[in-house]
Amino acid sequence: MILTADSQAKAVIEAALFASGKTLSLRELAGLSGLSEERARAMAEDLAAEYAARGSGIEIKGIGEGYSMQVAFGLAGRVISCAPKEIEAPLIRTLAIIAYKQPIKQSELVEIRGNKGYEHVKELETRGLISAEKAGHTKLLTTTRGFADYFGIVSSDPQAIRKALLQDRMLVGVSPMYESLAMRLGLDYIVVNPYRPAEEDLARLQEIDLLILAPGYAERVKGSYSGRMLEAGVRTLSQLKVSAEVICRVAGSGDVEPLAAEIDSLLKRFRQRAGSARPIRPLTPMIGELARDLHLPVSEDGLSVAPDSSGMEAEIQVPVHQPYDMDILERIVQRCEKILSGGKV
């Protein structure tokens, strides 16, 4: 097949856009194809129309004074796990976390991904997919224009990126206390304070599809958030398991099985220990719930048990106001251990 000069120039432009993986200016396209900038624009527009006409998963899009070949809008969320092709899966997972949760501190990323997160940040920054700006003793991580260009996202604004990546999936909002639960379940989430929202929290509340909050707080947050809410009880191990199952079902994503299996194992062990424990006398409904969940014997002359925040005199003080960044399962385990060790014969 003999190509005309125009066909050859168009092929060069198509190949350049494919090979570059970034937006090329009209000046660059003109220089590569040997055309004027006006003719290069016309060729790029012809290519864009051809790709659109066949419903391709790849599109050519005008961005500013240039053009980019990229994943078609709406498909980014489905293909981020396998592209760019040369990036290994662990690196892609780190990139996805940054994209979903940006701006995110490097220290927070490392808590999620481990020390390998430091290497990933360097690599992703080198590839031009993220920006890492100094912020005190850590770095603040965000995606770049290059990231948006590759995935066919018109804007590099974090909200636009999250919206594009989460098409057909829910973005879940969680308070700091529930973050470890969202991480364990593998949800797409952002952290927000719905109880005393600052300006940043109010903006994030507009992004989310589902808000997870503590029981009894729905009315309190209605003034700031009118979307779907789910109150998650986490006082006991059984409550945590049920809440996790409901969250995954409502969100339509996440994996509850690993957490459920761990809870079942803990309950089996704790209930065996409860069989040799002295009866207790719960002084609050919360302690009563823990006792029932552990199958602890309850008696009026048993060891008195109260939350350490209640101010009540009790033989066993159960920790309640633990750090918000403590793993949510560990919070409950700590309470169970306190009751069982204090009431052991």
Q: How confident is the model at residue 148 (pLDDT cuts 50, 70, 90)?
A: confident
Residues 19-31 have pLDDT tens digits of 776 678 888 888 8
Better-predicted residue by pLDDT, 40 or 284: 284
d(CA 288, CA 220): 26
Most confident of 105-114, 161-170, 252-261, 301-310: 301-310
* Strand order from edge to edge, sheet including 66-71: 24-25, 66-71, 58-63
Q: Please give the average per-residue pLDDT across 27-42, as a whole number.
A: 89
| Domain spans, the chain | 5-71, 76-165, 172-255, 266-342
pLDDT at position 83: 52
Q: How confident is the model at residue 270 (pLDDT cuts 50, 70, 90)?
A: very high
Check if the beta carbon of residue 293 is closer than 8 Å to that of residue 241. Answer: no
Q: How confident is the model at residue 262 (pLDDT cuts 50, 70, 90)?
A: very high
282 has a pLDDT exceeding 90: yes
206 has a pLDDT exceeding 50: yes
Note whether 5-71 and 172-255 share their fold: no
pLDDT at position 315: 93
Q: What is the DSSP letter of 298?
A: B
Q: Which CATH number fits the domain 172-255, given the four candidates 3.40.50.1980, 3.90.1150.10, 3.90.580.10, 3.30.420.40?
A: 3.40.50.1980
Check if the beta carbon of residue 297 is closer than 8 Å to that of residue 281. Answer: no
Percent of the chain with pLDDT over 70: 88
Q: N- to C-terminal Cα distance for the chain?
A: 91
229 has a pLDDT exceeding 80: yes
Looking at every residue in the chain, the average pLDDT score rounds to 84
* Tokens standing for residue 338: 């306190």
Q: How confident is the model at residue 48 (pLDDT cuts 50, 70, 90)?
A: confident
* Tokens standing for residue 281: 């006398």
Check if the beta carbon of residue 255 is closer than 8 Å to that of residue 186. Answer: yes
Q: How confident is the model at residue 1 (pLDDT cuts 50, 70, 90)?
A: very low
pLDDT at position 345: 41
Q: Please give the average per-residue pLDDT across 147-152, as a whole number.
A: 72
Is the domain spanning 76-165 CATH 1.10.10.10? The answer is yes
Q: Which CATH number fits the domain 5-71, given the four candidates 3.40.50.1110, 1.10.510.10, 1.10.760.10, 1.10.10.10?
A: 1.10.10.10
Q: How confident is the model at residue 332 (pLDDT cuts 50, 70, 90)?
A: very high
Minimum mean pLDDT among 21-25, 149-153, 300-304: which range? 149-153
pTM of the model: 0.57
pLDDT at position 79: 58
Q: Please give the average per-residue pLDDT across 313-327, as a whole number.
A: 88
Minimum mean pLDDT among 80-94, 124-138, 326-340: which range? 80-94
pLDDT at position 297: 94
272 has a pLDDT exceeding 70: yes
Query: 306: exposed, middle or buried (C-beta count within 10 Å: 0-12, 13-18, 19+)?
Result: buried
Check if the beta carbon of residue 193 is closer than 8 Å to that of residue 178. Answer: no
